[in-house]
Amino acid sequence: MFEIIKPGTQIDFVGKRFIWLGLSGLAMLATFVLFFTNGLNYGIDFTGGAEVHIKVPVSWDISKVRVEMDAAGIKGLRVQQIGELSLHEFLIKAQGDEKSLNLVSGQVRGVLEKQLKPGEFEIHRSDVVGPAAGSSLRNSGFLAMFYALLCILVYVTIRFDYRYSPGAVIALFHDSVITLGVFIVTQKQFDLQILAALLALIGYSNNDTIIVYDRVRETVKQHPELNISKAVNRAVNETLARTILTSLTTFISVFALWLFGGKVIEDFAFTLMVGIVVGTYSSIFIASSLVISITNYYDKRAAKLKAGGNAKTGKHQMTARPNPGHVSG
């Protein structure tokens, strides 16, 4: 029997939980700050704009492409070489209003047809998104993420209870935010595909959390003598092999996509890779720690309520009086 984690392993995950929570909190805070300062590098799906992916002969280098396209009068022009250098493929980007964008693909084709023979060049892809369509795609995209989180909040609340559901959803939110953070730091282009990958991740990375939570609940039931921290730590250890293995197999598939899947889905696969790693971390460290904090919070509140209404001031303590019960008759 191969075992990556030996049975009976007892790593203290929850003891240092404030370190993990603090680190994740900081990372999320940093992402928020970066989101409003540096910002995401939105692709044209969300900002509007034009992108034409062309292949030209070796005699055309990047400056030649730029000069020719500029001469054609493309507004807000940017030229970028993509893929392997030997392939001589370029991305022609343009910004502007609806009217000028609508012309771009025709202008590019015009230049190539005029200067080159058919067969010497190829237009691989051409995307034009109007500015209005872009912003509506962005809004509905973030809305979709919100709905997905909401669905999962509702499900986890029904399936477990209020002690668990906030942790699960905060963990998911954490995963999405950190993955977004990676996109801000690397300045990789954030487009519709990436958003789709994030949505899929919201569904997927909850799986590990549920496995841990299921076990926490089982442990609490079977061992009422354990306090919540001990129960959680035990559950995390017992499910550790599972958590790592499930993530590992999915990671393998996605890694292959990233490595061999080609330029078009490279970033899509990259998002999934980052998300799977972050999601696994959050299931082990964050979601479990949150259950402890939330349970403690509820317990304390319950104790306070029991202690009576003046518990806040602490001056006048009142002990609970036995309930006189209903007077029958």
Partner 1 sequence: MTRAWWTKFILLTITVILSLVYIFPTVANLDPEKTKFPFKQKINLGLDLQGGLYLVLGVDFNKVYKDVVERQGDSFKARLKEKGINVTSMKLIREGLPLDDVHFSVEFEPSKRNEAHDVLKKEYWTLRLVAETGASFELGLSRDFKTEVRDRTVNQSIEVIRNRIDEFGVSEPVIASQGTDRLVVELPGVREIDRAKDLIGRTAKLEFKIVDDKSMKQGDVAALIEEIEKKNDIAYKEGQKFSDYVRKINELAKGKIAADTEIAFERTRGPTGQEIGRTPYLLHSKAEVTGDDLQDASVQFDQETRRPNVSFSLNPHGAALFDKVTGEHVSHRLAIVLDNIVHSAPVIQTRISGGRGQITLGRGDGDALMREAKDLAIVLRAGALPAQLEFLEQRVVGPSLGQDSIRKGATASIIGSLAVFLFVAFYYRISGVIAVFSLLLNVVFVLALLVGLEATLTLPGIAGIALTVGIAVDSNVVIYERIREELRQGKNAQGAVGAGFQKAIRTILDANVTNAAAAIVLFMYGTGPIKGFAVTLLVGIVTTLFTAVFVCRLIFDAYLKRLENKGIQTLSI
- Contact footprint for partner 1 (CB under 8 A): 1-2, 7, 53, 98, 102, 105-106, 109, 122-130, 132-133, 140-141, 143-144, 147-148, 151-152, 155-156, 159, 192-193, 196, 199-200, 202-204, 206-207, 210-211, 214, 238, 241-242, 245-246, 248-257, 259-262, 264-265, 268-269, 272
Q: Which is closer to partner 1, CB of 184 or CB of 269?
A: 269
Contacts (Cβ under 8 Å, ≥6 apart) of 201: 175, 176, 179, 271, 272, 275, 276, 279
Residue 279 Cβ, how far from partner 1 at the closest point, in Å?
12
Q: Which residue in this structure is represented by tokens 């799977």? A: 276
Please, what's the b/e burial string for 173-188 (b: 16 or more CB within 10 A of its CB; e: otherwise)? bbbbbbbbbbbbeeeb
Residue 265 Cβ, how far from partner 1 at the closest point, in Å?
5
Residue 320 Cβ, how far from partner 1 at the closest point, in Å?
39
Residue 194 Cβ, how far from partner 1 at the closest point, in Å?
11
Helices (H) and strands (E) in the chain, counts: 11, 6
Q: Which is closer to partner 1, CB of 6 or CB of 315?
A: 6
Q: Which is closer to partner 1, CB of 218 or CB of 299?
A: 218
Q: Which is closer to partner 1, CB of 211 or CB of 311?
A: 211
Residue of 296, 286, 298, 301 whose CA lies nearest to 213: 286
Alpha-carbon 266 to chain mean position: 16
Residue of 111, 92, 214, 121 whose CA lies nearest to 164: 214
Please, what's the b/e burial string for 225-236 (b: 16 or more CB within 10 A of its CB; e: otherwise)? eeebbebbbbbb
Q: Which is closer to partner 1, CB of 102 or CB of 187?
A: 102
What are φ and ψ of residue 118, in 5° steps? -60, 140
**Strand-pair category, 189-190 with 41-42:** parallel
Residue 183 Cβ, how far from partner 1 at the closest point, in Å?
17
Q: Which is closer to partner 1, CB of 71 or CB of 264?
A: 264
Residue 230 Cβ, how far from partner 1 at the closest point, in Å?
19
Tell me the C-alpha distance between 237 and 12, whole Å. 9
